[in-house]
Amino acid sequence: MTIREFISIIRHNLNSLTLDSYISGEYIYNVGLSISKLLAKRESDSRRIFKNTFNFTMINCIELEEVNAMQCAGISLPKCKKMMRSKKPIPEAFTSNYGSIMFVFNPDKSKDYIEVSPIAYKSISNQEFKSKGKGYFWLENKYLIIPDSEVEIVSIFGLFSDPISTDNCGKILDIQFPTLDYLISSVIELTTKTIITSKQVATDENSNLNTNEK
């Protein structure tokens, strides 16, 4: 379902419920996106979300550059030999109770990276034995950080909430609405209810103000 279709369905629902005041498409989209994020985070408890990746987006060729370790982590990482950071901010990913809903791996997929915090990585870096097929990453101000690595290009695969960053072709309204297929009915229902409730509250508040003025 595209963003345009999602907005159209919500508008139809609102009109059928006699909410005839104009609601901007941007407002509808933002309410729907917030609800989609909330439901996705709840789904992560069962791990079901990671088995339904049809709506995930693959972004290849994320270029990295070497940066100062202290500049990134903000903590001392004495054993860190090289710190790599994405040259550009990456799209914002949905979050789960386990971290970002996003997978990171090198171009030939021979190595994948697990999300950790800089403090957790400091502890990990002190371990004597480390898997060659596993690396670590964290996000800082929307930049991807990979410590102790010489990789210059990675790919990311995830559920992103930024339609501009994940698809620069065509109009934004014609991009897929960011959610999981099996959650879309719930997102539509809750978005409709949320907007109706917010508008009813606003109407009641305005009525009270008018009564007080008299």
Angle between helices 25-43 and 3-16 (to 10 degrees): 100
Report the C-alpha gap between 185 and 35 in whole angstroms.
12
Structure tokens of 75? 């903590």
Question: Taking residues 114-130, what's their average pLDDT?
Answer: 81
Report the C-alpha gap between 120 and 14 in whole angstroms.
47
Q: Which of 140, 146, 86 is nearest to 114 (CA)?
A: 146
- Alpha-carbon Rg for the chain in angstroms: 22
Q: pLDDT-derived band of residue 191, with 50, 70 and 90 as boundaries?
A: very high
Length of the chain (residues): 214
pTM of the model: 0.74
- Per-residue pLDDT tens digits for 10-63: 999 988 766 556 789 999 999 999 999 999 888 876 677 777 777 788 999 999
Q: pLDDT-derived band of residue 167, with 50, 70 and 90 as boundaries?
A: very low
